[in-house]
Amino acid sequence: MGSQQFGDIFYNGQVSIAKHIFVIGEVGINHNGSLEIAKQLIDMAKEAGCDAVKFQKRTLDIVYTQEVLDAPRDSPWGTTQREQKNGLEFGEKEYDEIDAYCKKLGIEWFASAWDIPSQLFLRRYNSSYNKVASAMMTHPEFLKEVAKEGKTTFISTGMCSYEDIDKAVAIFREANCPIVIMHSVSEYPAADELLNLSLIPELAKRYGCPVGYSGHESSVSPSTMAAMMGAVAVERHITLNRAMYGSDQSASLEKPGLTTLVGQLRKIPVVLGNGEKLVTPGEINNAGKLRYWHSPKDDMAE
């Protein structure tokens, strides 16, 4: 699937709805450093009907200060932040396996880099898409490096002002790189009253481009509502079990929730129709049975 799919929409009288809502299962770091768990999450996304899975890639000594990395943190990998973060980081061996596994299953994969060397590392896999995490939206040099690839890029807008988004969009437009702006609230999990889904059509109007939704709520329904508000793509963190170790697990969907969400998203274009009033063939047939008082025979009897 290429970037043109995000322009394949229909107008239902209020907002533009995607004919096919692109669903991204965000594995992120919920694999907890295990390639086997990563593969199980890829299986889960594929079976649920997701279009793609997404990972995250960091160079620790660039993304974090020495002070942060030396700080204490108990985890399955040790007692410092460095040990914890290093335990969650995949390298070339793991991504080679992920690439081969996704190709075998027939599902797209890509990743959000958190620094330029990580973006250069990911480039070797020639994924169809790029992703800019909310945290990287105010890093112009990084944005330029991503934009030069010319791939359809999902850009998340959590923690961002309009000024931040304006500057990022300008960089991608200067590079003639297609984007999908992802409305997002960077709280984990995000409370329903903070989701502000009404912003989705506003972002589409302001920037004149497709808009998606990257949700961090713990339930399914807001993501479906986001699609009803015009989101052409929906990204949700996924997990084998919300009780697993990790800061993103509680804002993630387990398999039943993900399957429900994808099913609901696939139904939206079907049930919305074209907004024109018509009488179906089945209704015409039923009218002959139910509107008995209008039959000619009854009129003659009177």
Residue-wise pLDDT for 1-39, tens only, equals: 344 467 565 444 456 788 899 999 999 999 999 999 999
Residue-wise pLDDT for 252-271, tens only, equals: 999 999 999 999 999 998 89
**pLDDT for position 17:** 81
Residue-wise pLDDT for 178-195, tens only, equals: 999 999 999 999 999 999
DSSP string, 72-108: EEEETTEEEHHHHHHHT---HHHHHHHHHHHHHHT-E
**pLDDT for position 16:** 75
pLDDT > 70? residue 207: yes
Q: Which residues contact 214 (CB under 8 A, 6 or more apart)?
A: 26, 154, 156, 158, 182, 183, 184, 234, 235, 236
Q: Which residue has the tokens 């509107």?
A: 291
All structural domains of the chain, each given as residue ranges with its CATH number in brackets, are: 3-275 (3.20.20.70)
pLDDT > 70? residue 101: yes
Q: Which residues contact 171 (CB under 8 A, 6 or more apart)?
A: 140, 143, 144, 147
How far apart are the C-alpha atoms of 298 and 177, rounded to whole Å? Answer: 69
On the question of a cis peptide bond just before residue 189, with omega within 30 degrees of 0, the verdict is: yes
**pLDDT for position 301:** 45
Q: Predicted confidence band at 244 (pLDDT cuts at 50, 70, 90)?
A: very high
pLDDT > 60? residue 201: yes
Residues 137-158, mean pLDDT to the nearest whole number? 98
Lowest pLDDT segment from 97-111, 112-126, 262-276 = 262-276
Q: Which residues contact 43 (CB under 8 A, 6 or more apart)?
A: 105
Six token digits for residue 164: 């931040």
How far apart are the C-alpha atoms of 49 and 23, rounded to whole Å? Answer: 8
Q: Predicted confidence band at 62 (pLDDT cuts at 50, 70, 90)?
A: very high
**pLDDT for position 4:** 41
Residues 149-155, mean pLDDT to the nearest whole number? 98
Q: Which residues contact 92 (CB under 8 A, 6 or more apart)?
A: 121
Q: Predicted confidence band at 294 (pLDDT cuts at 50, 70, 90)?
A: low
**pLDDT for position 7:** 57
How far apart are the C-alpha atoms of 75 and 8, rounded to whole Å? Answer: 45
pTM (predicted TM-score): 0.92
pLDDT > 70? residue 138: yes
Q: Which residue has the tokens 């479906």?
A: 224
Contacts made by residues 73-77, CB under 8 angstroms, sequence distance 24+? 75/245, 76/32, 76/245, 77/33
**pLDDT for position 128:** 97
How far apart are the C-alpha atoms of 17 and 228, rounded to whole Å? Answer: 7
DSSP β-bridge partners for residue 108: 52
**pLDDT for position 300:** 46
How far apart are the C-alpha atoms of 74 and 39, rounded to whole Å? Answer: 26
**pLDDT for position 9:** 53
Q: Predicted confidence band at 53 (pLDDT cuts at 50, 70, 90)?
A: very high
**pLDDT for position 295:** 54
Task: Classify the phi-psi angles of 100: left when phi > 0, otherwise alpha if psi is within -120 to 50, otherwise beta.
Answer: alpha
